Amino acid sequence: MFIESFKVESPHVKYTETEIQSVYKYETTELVHENRNDTYQWVVKPKTVSYEFKTKTHVPKLGVMLVGWGGNNGSTLTGGVIANKEGISWATKDKIQQANYFGSLTQASAIRVGSFQGEEIYAPFKSLLPMVNPEDIVFGGWDISNMNLADAMARARVFDIDLQKQLRPYMESMVPLPGIYDPDFIAANQGDRANNVIKGTKKEQNLFSCVCYESREFKEATKVDKVVVLWTANTERYSNVVVGLNDTMENLLASLDRNESEISPSTLYALACVLENVPFINGSPQNTFVPGLIDLAIKRNSLIGGDDFKSGQTKMKSVLVDFLVGAGIKPTSIVSYNHLGNNDGMNLSAPQTFRSKEISKSNVVDDMVNSNAILYEPGEHPDHVVVIKYVPYVGDSKRAMDEYTSEIFMGGKNTIVLHNTCEDSLLAAPIILDLVLLAELSTRIQFKAENEDKFHSFHPVATILSYLTKAPLVPPGTPVVNALSKQRAMLENILRACVGLAPENNMILEYK
């Protein structure tokens, strides 16, 4: 059975005019390695910590600014939200298609809330806590190309022609603001697009991009209450992390004053956002968040999240390797091949930008491999190769082919081969939507443990967004979790705690 909404009735939950307040018992474990009877042994001690959560229920009018607004992802997301808002339908070769949000965790997935008369009861994910309605979002952004969004949509060749024709009147007046362009950080083949760029020194570019979206400009013009900024522009090469340049907050700001060349455009945007306390999310694989920027975000308690949208091949990998290792099967070789023909593929044809993507895709299995010392010796790791090729003809319809070879019982071998045709931007756009909605929601949640006096927000390095990214950004000293099921459970269970619900553990003891 599916229900559209629900309200929790519990002595541990209180609904006020402005907040949802909950008291939550967090059941966890504490491990100690101690000497007992002259022998060291591991001892696991169950532990319960009481937390209080409070979530503001007022949903703000949200502005979303995309860096790379005129790219495939930006035009696809903008057009998709407009199509849903206006109730647009269009003819395909198969049927009359209705606009939807398929592929969005917040808009198109469900959570289990219990059982009723022997039947499982589910509700929309978005019913857990008040969230921004996508159709109330005001979009804006920057791009190094001055093409309006309607023409950018046509250039992307993602939507059917009938849908493009219906969306054109809504999008042809949308023109990106000038963007920061540094040819040293992206492929040389992107130069032809760069006709809409911010001039000046790094500091001048940073200040200009800052003025574009802060309350003096974007917020005043659009009357929004909050802004979230997300990078969906080209993959950049990795920035060199150098002592004295970008290793600390002070050094990064001093490097900006000196107009150091090794500060990437994405870092400039992120820096501007942190200085204005505007949430910033990196949807590409480069190391936008150099140590000095992370340091600054923590000092200013300004939300940052990333890296790299997890949409197709990597999402499958984070499911399949988790399944194999969890089943006691030992993956020994993982070979991933991709070819695509959109501008992302064109930019990734340069070795320096491909390297950023290779790093992002290759690290996704690490935590799963490290979890099972029965299968893997210390330091042992599967052979893992990632290949990406640019094939213009296939456009946005990326092909991903994977071969997983594993060792099984008594020296046997098992090989799984997958072919995945990924409509790249149609998979990425709902993820962008989820990222900005969850980032906004997380800024309205505060909590404290039983031994703390004051409520506080989540850590500014937003691990809560890790389900949606290939290479989750985590605070220093925090373990990285890539297994998709664990990431989703973490996110859902935190939101359940905010309304006083127990984590979904699938035990269903009442039927055992």
In the annotation, is 398 catalytic? yes
In the annotation, is 182 catalytic? no
Measured CA to CA, the distance from residue 198 to residue 214 in angstroms comes to 17
> SS3 of 186, please?
coil
Question: Can you name the residues that pair with 124 across neighbouring β-strands?
Answer: 110
Catalytic residue among 54, 310, 357, 361: 357
Decide: 193 and 407 in contact? Cβ < 8 Å.
no
Catalytic residue among 398, 402, 424, 434: 398
Decide: 13 and 500 in contact? Cβ < 8 Å.
yes
Catalytic residue among 182, 295, 308, 424: 308
User: Strand 119-124 relative to strand 110-116: parallel, antiparallel, unpaired?
Assistant: antiparallel
Say which residue the tokens 């390297």 belong to.
Answer: 355
Helices and strands of the chain, counted as H and E runs = 15, 18
Measured CA to CA, the distance from residue 182 to residue 203 in angstroms comes to 14
List CB contacts of 11: < 8 A, sequence separation 6 or more.
Answer: none
In the annotation, is 308 catalytic? yes
Catalytic residue among 202, 226, 310, 470: 470
| Torsion from C-alpha of 461, 463, 465, 468, nearest 10 degrees | 120
Decide: 80 and 99 in contact? Cβ < 8 Å.
yes
Runs of H (alpha helix) within 244-365: 249-257, 265-276, 291-300, 313-326, 343-348, 351-362
Decide: 307 and 471 in contact? Cβ < 8 Å.
yes
In the annotation, is 223 catalytic? no
Decide: 280 and 230 in contact? Cβ < 8 Å.
yes
Report the candidate in 187, 471, 241 with the shortest Cα–Cα distance to residue 352. Answer: 187
List CB contacts of 196: < 8 A, sequence separation 6 or more.
Answer: 143, 144, 145, 146, 176, 178, 179
List CB contacts of 133: < 8 A, sequence separation 6 or more.
Answer: 59
Report the candidate in 321, 318, 306 with the shortest Cα–Cα distance to residue 266. Answer: 306
Which positions are catalytic? 308, 357, 398, 470
